[in-house]
Amino acid sequence: MELTIEKLSKRYPNGVQALSDVTLRIPTGLFGLLGPNGAGKSTLMRTIATLQEADSGSVTLGDLDVLRDKNAVRRILGYLPQEFGLYPKVTAFHLLDHLASLKGITPRRHRREVVNALLQKVNLYDVRHQRLGSYSGGMKQRFGIAQALIGDPRLIIVDEPTAGLDPEERVRFHNLLGEIGEQVVVILSTHIVEDVSELCRQMAIIHRGKVVAQGDPNRLADELNGRVWSKTVVKQELPQLQASCQVLSTHLRTGRTVVHVLADSPPDSSFETVEPELKDVYFAAIRGFTPAKVELAS
């Protein structure tokens, strides 16, 4: 089963074109949707989750018309929204039990089994009787995944799940996402490149409402082989470099500035070629650098 998004567009009443002819094929497994803040990711996620309307275009999951058949979609959807409100005074067990009953899991004993199994899966079973208000950020996100998994969904959407998590919680959350079956379409929307490079075999980069790259993250990085050049510079050199080269990124490493540049040949003999990473692909795509763009679009 595949989620197919065809020429999806959305303009908000304030004139912002949040999505512009977005076309994506999303197979089963973990799919990364990467883009900077404001790129249109949440608009796309909310549209697929039947929470808002698009202006034009289509979304289908297998035979299901996602934009029209909203009730059918809701039955098979698990959604962890960007802003996930919890009732702070309610315990994890009670809220999950309540959400499971809303999802139609009615025999009480069966529901209890489902809820306990989910709490075990996300490693919150031992703290299931604690109030959600006492949970850390990582625990709340794991609870969010538990509620998204109620009723064995076939389509799971997680919107910016690791923003604000500490490294250990992030790893835990990644492991949890990695355990969701290969038969399910899981869309992970994020602005964190490592979330995608560590987890996803397929991905897309979206920028200003448009898809600017899509494919296998490793292959996309390979396509830049031999064209990413690196050099350590002093800060004062940066403006001139930026004026003369396609600078992908600049970052501080032990007090010095390391630049990555995209070019078919070294800008000068002091540059060294480096193995391209997904970060380089990401910056090439969102900066619209021509050599990268031509390759990525092909």
Q: Round to whole Å and give the CA distance between 69 and 77.
A: 12
Binding letters toward ligand ADP, positions 41-60, x by CB under 6 A: xxx-----------------
Nearer of residues 209 and 276 to ligand ADP, judged by Cβ:
209
* Min separation Cβ 291 and ligand ADP, Å: 26
* Min separation Cβ 18 and ligand ADP, Å: 4
Size of the site for ligand ADP (CB under 6 A): 12
Q: Round to whole Å and give the CA distance between 263 and 49.
A: 40
Q: Round to whole Å and give the CA distance between 236 and 175.
A: 42
Nearer of residues 22 and 132 to ligand ADP, judged by Cβ:
22
231: DSSP letter: E
Structure tokens, 235: 């800060």
Q: Round to whole Å and give the CA distance between 222 and 226.
A: 9
Nearer of residues 38 and 151 to ligand ADP, judged by Cβ:
38
35 is a site residue for ligand ADP (CB under 6 A): yes
State CA 238 to chain mean position distance. 31
15 is a site residue for ligand ADP (CB under 6 A): no
Considering only 14, 236, 254, 269, the residue that binds ligand ADP (CB under 6 A) is 14
Nearer of residues 8 and 105 to ligand ADP, judged by Cβ:
8
3-state DSSP call for residue 122? coil
1 exposure class (CB count in 10 Å sphere: 0-12, 13-18, 19+)? middle
Nearer of residues 16 and 127 to ligand ADP, judged by Cβ:
16
Q: Round to whole Å and give the CA distance between 248 and 262.
A: 6
Considering only 1, 4, 9, 16, the residue that binds ligand ADP (CB under 6 A) is 16
207 is a site residue for ligand ADP (CB under 6 A): no
φ and ψ at residue 46, rounded to 5 degrees: -65, -35
In the complex, which residues of this chain contact ligand ADP (CB under 6 A)? 12, 14, 16, 18, 35, 37-43
